[in-house]
């Protein structure tokens, strides 16, 4: 099979491998039988296919054959080429069928996740409840949400579980990329995009709003008007005085609330 122009270019620029990994082999995709430098190259290419039904993702564990980049011999997956003896990757995982020369990334295979991760085994622990590896700083220091990483980042929509970027766990236990989280905070968004709970301690902001409200007297017509609110932080509903600046939860004092229709009480 002819290598695509793009693949040849990548090859020349990086010496060997692709923009994702440095390795001395290409993988035979089990799904479409084509050769690709890595599964990301496969997924990038297939996601561009014009017919939506042709688009698909490669299942890394299913790869059975590789082609050595030094001698072009196709062979069953292994670290060392059976023909020329070259190591096709300094790091090799026989479960993920994964090769990479950049050992500085400190790859490790987590048996519970079932995939290889980067960043050094000693820096991570596997949370059984969340079903994913987290950095040690989060040990005994996060709210567990079942399968919390098996979804797409709510900001950039990349699938989180096998993303190579760092993860942030918010106070509510939901997750997103660290860089997406910081981008969100920079834009003064302090609610979890998934559950709307406050993502950081907001007590200082709430105090500032208290002061603002105290300094802003509502027109007489509004002074006795009340509204029902639902608190995004504690899920309680309370009836409070209407104010243009904000409505404070009568239960937990959060201003992360929204007005709702009055509850229908049983007669």
Binding site for Zn ion (CB under 5 A): 18, 20, 37-38, 40-41, 68, 70-71, 81, 83-84, 93, 95-96, 109-110, 112-113, 116, 126-127, 129-130, 133, 144, 153, 155-156, 172, 174, 177, 180, 192, 194-195, 231, 233-234, 249, 251-252, 254
Shortest distance, CB of residue 219 to Zn ion, whole angstroms? 27
Shortest distance, CB of residue 267 to Zn ion, whole angstroms? 27
Shortest distance, CB of residue 82 to Zn ion, whole angstroms? 8
Nearer to Zn ion, 84 or 217 (CB): 84
Nearer to Zn ion, 140 or 220 (CB): 140
Shortest distance, CB of residue 158 to Zn ion, whole angstroms? 5
Query: Residue 29: CB partners within 8 Å, gap ≥ 6?
Result: 35, 36, 39, 42, 58, 63
Nearer to Zn ion, 84 or 259 (CB): 84
Shortest distance, CB of residue 102 to Zn ion, whole angstroms? 13
Shortest distance, CB of residue 10 to Zn ion, whole angstroms? 8
Nearer to Zn ion, 174 or 243 (CB): 174
Nearer to Zn ion, 32 or 252 (CB): 252
Nearer to Zn ion, 136 or 267 (CB): 136
As given in the structure block, the two tokens for residue 247 are 């409505």
Q: What spatial distance separates the first Cα and last Cα of the chain, rounded to whole Å? A: 76
Shortest distance, CB of residue 164 to Zn ion, whole angstroms? 12
Answer yes or no: are the C-beta atoms of 231 and 258 closer than 8 Å: no
């Amino acid at each position: 099979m002819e290598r695509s122009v793009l693949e040849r270019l990548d090859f020349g620029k990086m010496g060997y491998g692709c923009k994702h990994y440095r390795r001395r082999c290409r993988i035979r995709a089990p799904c479409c039988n084509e050769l690709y430098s890595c599964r990301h190259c496969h997924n990038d290419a297939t996601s561009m296919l014009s017919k939506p039904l042709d688009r698909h993702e490669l299942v890394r564990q299913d790869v059975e054959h590789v082609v050595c980049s030094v001698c072009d011999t196709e062979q069953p997956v292994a670290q060392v080429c059976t023909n020329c003896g070259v190591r096709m990757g300094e790091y090799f995982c026989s479960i993920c069928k994964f090769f990479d020369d950049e050992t500085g990334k400190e790859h490790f295979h987590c048996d519970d996740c079932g995939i290889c991760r980067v960043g050094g085994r000693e820096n991570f622990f596997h949370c059984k409840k969340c079903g994913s590896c987290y950095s040690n700083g989060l040990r005994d220091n996060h709210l567990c949400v079942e399968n919390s990483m098996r979804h797409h980042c709510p900001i950039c929509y990349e699938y989180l579980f096998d993303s190579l970027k760092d993860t942030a766990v918010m106070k509510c236990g939901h997750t997103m990329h660290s860089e997406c989280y910081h981008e969100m905070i920079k834009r003064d968004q302090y609610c979890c995009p998934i559950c709307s709970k406050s993502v950081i301690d907001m007590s200082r902001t709430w105090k500032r709003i208290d002061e603002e409200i105290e300094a802003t007297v509502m027109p007489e017509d509004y002074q006795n008007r009340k509204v029902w609110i639902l608190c995004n932080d504690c899920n309680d509903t309370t009836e409070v005085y209407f104010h243009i600046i904000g409505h404070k939860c009568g239960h937990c004092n959060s201003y992360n609330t929204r007005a709702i229709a009055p509850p229908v009480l049983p007669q």
